[in-house]
């Protein structure tokens, strides 16, 4: 007599399976990839006030407030920069890279969300007579159909997809900072070339004045020779001196034309707008070391390097999450029939729900290699950040030293000019009183004009150093000319 009921057999069977299931679970957990430890935060290089060139001890105080970088008070230059930022191929390339990074971030975001798709197919098939299908299907030719809504969702409990999206967004921020850096570099090149054009134009006009003054000395000496008041041998050196400015005029005309062509190439237009001669502006005071340090942290190259470090760290977090189980669910609802004509009959409806779990087993080598690769990316990004910071500090110090040196030359040159102006005024007074002839006045005018030429050159060198300093501090783009995407990055 059998005393064992079906419930007893079922319970006994389940009791025997429980230890087996527990053993399988323990084996699975033992075979899982060992979870990596959390990485220590990376160590970044830091700039200090002591790393920067100290404030100069001079009569011109350093600016203690943040200056308006890249604004030199020249409307023509502002228009040229705005035109270049709008139409330059350089900016087109930079903005294309921004859009590329944004598209990659969009792909990452869409891959992490829920998916819903409508799938349909019709298949014309001849079924073999001796196979899995019984008559009347066996040996017949039929058109089968399938249509269904497919749904899937990854729960992302461990944040793998979220961290991947954060990394992609970090790369978008880095690409925007790169675009701002490209705009600043372009604006810097345009500003320097523009002021070189203006300086060449001023040097040209001064050279023409010197030519006229030297010719006046030759004519005066020729009159003295004709009157028998001076030997004819004195004319030869004066004629040689009068011919020298002509060579300088030709060279300066060439320099001005070259600067115009360079501006045209930088702005990226077929015809450069006519440039009106303008005096060179006086550069603003050098910001003090504390302000320079604060501005240095906003430099777009440093911001881009910092964003890439953050993106690389998010990639590490995403790769670490791959060591955890991946849990997702999929479902479908639709119709499936061996006869297309009866596809939408209620009897042919099809539904399914499939929860799934993926647990990495015995592939710790592959996962750890991927994690090590992402950690190497972090190390590279940190090294590039340190390199960018070191380069930025060097650029700021180089421009500061040049600017301080040029500013120290201003006072001695102004002293020489005031002395020559006094000499010229005295010579004119004595000439009007009949005490001397015009020889001394002409010589003093010539010397004063040469000093004006030296002042233009010093003003240009000071201005170029100031432009380089603005660029090194992350500026050189007037806010009124910055395109919307570049300006938003700056903020």
Residue for token pair 């502006």: 281
Q: What helix, strand, coil percent values describe the chain, rounded to 5?
A: 65, 10, 25
Residues 413 and 318 in one domain: yes
337 domain residue, yes or no: yes
Residues 336 and 194 in one domain: no
213 domain residue, yes or no: yes
Residues 177 and 195 in one domain: yes
Q: Give the residues across from 354 on adjacent strands.
A: 330
Assess whether pLDDT exceeds 60 at residue 351.
yes
Q: How many Cβ atoms are within 10 Å of 396's Cβ, its own excluded?
A: 27
Exposure of 50 by Cβ count < 10 A (0-12 exposed, 13-18 middle, 19+ buried)? exposed
* Strand ranges for 212-319 from DSSP E: none
CA 241, CA 235: separation in Å to the nearest integer?
A: 10
Last residue of a domain, one of 315, 344, 359: 359
Last residue of a domain, one of 335, 359, 383: 359
CA 232, CA 224: separation in Å to the nearest integer?
A: 9
Last residue of a domain, one of 340, 359, 378: 359
State the DSSP code for 136: T
26 domain residue, yes or no: no
Assess whether pLDDT exceeds 50 at residue 491.
no
Residues 191 and 77 sit within 8 Å (Cβ to Cβ): yes
> The CATH number of the domain where 258 resides is what?
1.20.1600.10
Residues 166 and 250 in one domain: yes
Residues 167 and 315 sit within 8 Å (Cβ to Cβ): yes
pTM above 0.95, yes or no: no
Residues 386 and 449 in one domain: yes
Q: 108-121, pLDDT tens digit by residue?
A: 888 777 888 999 99
Q: Write the CA distances from 481 to 75, 196, 231, 265, integer angstroms.
A: 11, 21, 64, 19
Residues 434 and 372 in one domain: yes
Residues 281 and 73 sit within 8 Å (Cβ to Cβ): yes
Residues 186 and 388 sit within 8 Å (Cβ to Cβ): no
1 domain residue, yes or no: no
What percentage of the chain has pLDDT greater than the value 70?
Answer: 84
Q: What is the signed CA dihedral for 434, 439, 443, 449, rounded to 10 degrees?
A: 70
Assess whether pLDDT exceeds 70 at residue 410.
yes
Residues 224 and 265 in one domain: yes
Q: 464-487, pLDDT tens digit by residue?
A: 999 999 999 987 666 555 554 544
426 domain residue, yes or no: yes
Which residues touch 163 (CB under 8 Å, ≥6 apart)? 314, 315, 317, 318, 321
The pLDDT of residue 32 is 54
Which segment of 59-68, 186-195, 434-443 scores lowest on mean pLDDT?
59-68
Residue ranges making up the domain that contains 168? 44-112+160-324+365-490
401 domain residue, yes or no: yes
409 domain residue, yes or no: yes
Residues 227 and 293 in one domain: yes
Residues 349 and 482 in one domain: no
Q: 262-291, pLDDT tens digit by residue?
A: 999 998 877 788 899 999 998 888 888 888
Residues 320 and 355 in one domain: no
CA 486, CA 480: separation in Å to the nearest integer?
A: 11
The pLDDT of residue 396 is 93
Confidence of residue 86 (pLDDT cuts 50, 70, 90): confident
Residues 141 and 224 in one domain: no
What's the domain count of the chain? Answer: 2
12 domain residue, yes or no: no
> The CATH number of the domain where 342 resides is what?
2.20.200.10
Q: What is the mean pLDDT of residues 362-387?
A: 89
Assess whether pLDDT exceeds 70 at residue 304.
yes
Exposure of 416 by Cβ count < 10 A (0-12 exposed, 13-18 middle, 19+ buried)? middle
Residues 120 and 57 in one domain: no
């Amino acid at each position: 007599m059998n005393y064992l009921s079906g419930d007893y057999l079922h319970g006994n069977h389940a009791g025997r399976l429980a230890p087996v299931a527990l053993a399988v679970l323990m084996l699975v957990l033992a075979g899982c990839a060992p979870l990596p430890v959390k990485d220590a935060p990376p160590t970044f290089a830091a700039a200090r006030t002591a790393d920067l060139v100290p404030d100069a001890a001079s009569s011109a105080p350093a600016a203690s407030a943040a200056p308006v970088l890249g604004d030199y008070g020249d409307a023509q230059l502002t228009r040229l920069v705005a035109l270049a930022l709008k139409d330059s191929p350089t900016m087109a390339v930079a903005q294309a890279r921004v859009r590329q990074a944004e598209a990659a971030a969009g792909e990452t975001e869409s891959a992490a969300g829920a998916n819903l798709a409508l799938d349909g197919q019709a298949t014309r098939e001849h079924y073999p007579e001796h196979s899995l299908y019984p008559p009347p299907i066996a040996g017949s030719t039929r058109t089968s159909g399938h249509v269904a809504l497919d749904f899937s969702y990854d729960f992302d409990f461990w944040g793998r997809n979220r961290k991947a999206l954060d990394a992609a967004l970090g790369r978008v921020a880095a690409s925007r900072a790169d675009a701002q850096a490209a705009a600043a570099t372009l604006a810097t090149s345009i500003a320097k070339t523009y002021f070189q054009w203006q300086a060449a134009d001023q040097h040209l006009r001064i050279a023409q004045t010197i030519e006229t003054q030297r010719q006046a000395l030759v004519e005066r000496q020729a009159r003295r020779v004709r009157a028998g008041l001076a030997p004819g041998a004195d004319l030869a050196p004066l004629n040689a001196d009068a011919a020298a400015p002509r060579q300088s005029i030709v060279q300066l005309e060439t320099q001005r034309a070259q600067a115009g062509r360079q501006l045209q190439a930088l702005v990226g237009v077929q015809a450069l707008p006519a440039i009106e001669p303008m005096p060179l502006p006086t550069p603003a005071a050098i910001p003090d070391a504390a302000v320079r340090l604060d501005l240095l942290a906003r430099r777009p190259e440093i911001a881009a390097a910092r964003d890439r470090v953050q993106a690389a760290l998010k990639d590490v977090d995403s790769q670490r999450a791959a060591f955890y189980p991946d849990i997702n669910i999929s479902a479908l609802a639709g119709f499936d029939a061996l006869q297309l004509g009866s596809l939408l009959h209620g009897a042919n409806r099809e539904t399914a729900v499939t929860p799934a779990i993926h647990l990495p087993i015995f592939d710790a080598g592959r996962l750890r290699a991927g994690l090590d690769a992402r950690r190497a990316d972090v190390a590279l990004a940190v090294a590039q950040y340190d390199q960018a910071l070191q380069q930025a500090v060097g650029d700021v110090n180089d421009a500061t030293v040049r600017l301080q040196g040029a500013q120290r030359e201003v006072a001695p040159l102004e002293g020489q000019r005031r002395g020559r102006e006094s000499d010229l005024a005295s010579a004119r007074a004595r000439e009007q009183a009949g005490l001397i002839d015009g020889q001394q006045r002409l010589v003093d005018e010539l010397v004063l004009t040469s000093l004006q030429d030296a002042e233009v050159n010093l003003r240009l060198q000071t201005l170029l150093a100031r432009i380089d300093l603005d660029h090194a501090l992350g500026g050189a783009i007037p806010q009124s000319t910055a395109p919307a995407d570049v300006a938003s990055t700056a903020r």
